[in-house]
Structure 1
């Protein structure tokens, strides 16, 4: 295991948890949502926090709103920092609804994206069509991240569908299955209308997940990130993280914030 170290701080200060791995990570991955960062802000994000970002999503259908030049530069910067750049899953749903799926994938590959999100948060996808979308993405050499759950406020979780989707998506080649939480983190999936976690539903959900390393939890709010780290561990995969919160989340993962200090610090005698 190659851990992330700092050239200037003692290892016990840089990572008191002593568990954070360097990229490419299989667990403890962080997916960031970009809802319209300018190039300067995007480059600043890469320089400051690029080492702590594994996947970066251009939220919903914003990919269609960039000029080709800006899209290309974002893709180049992401690739230089070993970050998988993906368009939002809603954009692929638009392509399905508009009947332009082949054009979507051709453009995704040409623009420099290195992955896609296959979701049905807004439209209904048959299992066959979901499989075809995953296969088409893989044929284009793209990483595939699928999503489970609807964006509609108050949507309930079908547990038999959950476990079937996880197994099927993994079998088809999906790297991670994302649990829907929207960019707001409120009123959907395991979150109530104020963003709190519905603990009974969450516990029941855990009983139906065969391997936690296969799952990415959308958790845009700090309270949600903290809850999931405490419940699952620092190697939990977290998504829809706002760009300005990447460093804060990394500090949570390492025990560099009071919230996870006792949870993650190794026991040792105080000394000077």
Structure 2
């Protein structure tokens, strides 16, 4: 007979910050970008890191490139682990450009996606259509993420436009607004050509919006994650995280890596802890 030990990690060892919440979380959400995971790879990811994944984005317009049975199985697996799974916003932009919005929503329902992303990273979408897409998503009982920012190299944040976009999107029912960072994390949005954060722009953004909790920051690189967590707090929402980086990011959030260790609470002086 298998004997299960009653021992468990001390809370100050598993989460030195003492601040990490379990799912379903309202703060500190992590979004994984899936750029082509097979079913076995996704199952492995669920086995090792499902507790630390809140959102799974089937990247770009890759959804129709899978066999239908495989895509549905992936979506069902994510949902079984209390994860919101949705197609990338670029795919909805494709649907708009191809005059196939109705078909897009039909297939979202058919496959069982429980979220969508409304973006205009590549094409221009007027305010009325953006509102209609957000409303249609909410009416379909979907979690709706919107995105601000262009994907082209050198694109920057227009502060007044961003504040207006965030305010109206939330009024229309959007659950979170993503700040564009692409999967490259360089030369776009809040990142310069080397991938470093533009702190002045971030500060201006946070001063202008109703609440920082409505934003999700795309941060594909460790240095960006560390910088944002240490400057904005461990409970910020982070997106475009590679599957292989989920455990590493969770360790950063909890103060279990040297980069964020000092964010954790100190229970006792080292010498005291030995006594």
* Aligned position for 2:232: 232
* Alignment RMSD: 1.2
* Aligned position for 1:223: 223
Shift of 1:7: 6.9
* Aligned position for 1:58: 58
* Structure number with larger C-alpha Rg: 2
Q: Which runs of 5+ in 1 are unaligned?
A: 1-5
Shift of 1:264: 2.3
1:115-154 equivalences in 2 (<5 Å): 115-154=115-154
What SS does the corresponding residue of 1:170 show, helix, strand or coil? helix
Alignment of 1:25 with 2:15, yes or no, is no
Distance 1:170 1:82 in 2: 23
The one-character-per-residue Cα deviations of 1:2-24 (angstroms, maximum 9, x if unpaired) are xxxx9731111111111100111
What SS does the corresponding residue of 1:130 show, helix, strand or coil? helix
Task: Say if 2:146 and 2:176, in contact at 8 Å, map to a contact too.
Answer: yes
What SS does the corresponding residue of 2:178 show, helix, strand or coil? strand
1:158-169 equivalences in 2 (<5 Å): 158-169=158-169
TM-score, reference length from structure 1: 0.96
Distance 1:206 1:168 in 2: 16
Distance 2:170 2:204 in 1: 21
Distance 2:7 2:26 in 1: 24
What SS does the corresponding residue of 1:117 show, helix, strand or coil? strand
The one-character-per-residue Cα deviations of 1:37-69 (angstroms, maximum 9, x if unpaired) are 011000100111000000000100011101111
Shift of 1:81: 0.4
Q: Which runs of 5+ in 2 are unaligned?
A: 1-5
Count residues with an aligned counterpart. Answer: 267
* Aligned position for 2:81: 81
Shift of 1:267: 4.9
What SS does the corresponding residue of 2:122 show, helix, strand or coil? coil
Decide which moves more: 20-29 or 200-209.
200-209
What SS does the corresponding residue of 2:259 show, helix, strand or coil? helix
Shift of 1:182: 0.3
Distance 1:266 1:107 in 2: 51
* Aligned position for 2:209: 209
Distance 1:146 1:199 in 2: 22
Distance 2:67 2:189 in 1: 34
